[in-house]
Amino acid sequence: MITSIVLTDTHNVGLDSYGRFMVGEEKVSIKEVPFVRYRFDKFDDAELDYIGHMKKTFKHSSHMVEINISENTPQILDSIEDKLDNIIRYIYVPVTDENVTDGFTDEIIEMIEAIEDYDFDRIMLKDNSTTLYNIAASRLKGEIADILDIKASDIGVCQSPLSFGGDACLTAVKARELSAEYAENDEVALPSANHECMKNCGCIRYNVIDSDVAAPVTKNNKRKKKKQVNNGEKQKDKTDDNGEKVSKSKGLPFVQF
């Protein structure tokens, strides 16, 4: 089963000797994971060290951080640049009902301006509203595009009824594009449009991991040792037509005195 994973914190993902971990009741190989997405509340040293470890473990995957924009975003991007290689960086800008009506606040605009000179792969509207619609989304995209001098069409929408088609975070087309740039292994799972099967958005399939995952239990098929009797084989006694016991090994009557 090809599926990306989304980690909400530095959870332990246990692997068996075949490089498989559990997704619900199903075992998934690390070779079937095109993307590992890190949806953390913070990206301090401990989190970045964890990502570095996961990159070595999930070596067939591309790795993506999901950063909610804040006044600390420039420092986070600097730390990622210093500590990690080949990391996809998505920036998420929250949208409230107030933003839908009035546009972004000065505070959010300053946060967006602060990342103007930084490298990132995509910026997304994170829909925290109950009223976002296409025209308002286009207007908010336009505000960001003007500040960062990027195309409004390159900005997507996350966790929204609008999160389908090209607006989803990680469509199959976008996934293949990013994989071509960031994958460090020739054996990578390349998703197709058939993997855009999430119910709430147009992303390729992913499973959220929000707690530690124990390694799958692997059954060892061990041969049972046979009990040895005389020549090493367990003998079963038979009876002849007269009811006398017959030795299986010799075929002669066994007379008990």
The residue whose two tokens read 């990159």 is: 55
pLDDT at 193: 86
Cα 57 to Cα 1: distance, rounded to the nearest angstrom: 18
Distance spanning both ends of the chain, measured CA to CA: 68
pLDDT at 223: 42
Low-confidence ranges of the chain (pLDDT < 50): 221-229, 247-257
Burial of 37 (0-12, 13-18, 19+ CB in 10 A): buried
Instruction: With beta carbons less than 8 A apart as the criterion, state whether 207 and 218 touch.
Output: no
pLDDT at 257: 37
* pLDDT tens digits, one per residue of 94-131: 999 999 999 999 999 999 999 999 999 999 999 999 99
Cα 16 to Cα 54: distance, rounded to the nearest angstrom: 15
- Sheet containing 87-95: order of strands: 156-158, 122-127, 87-95, 62-68, 35-38, 4-7, 206-209
DSSP 225: P
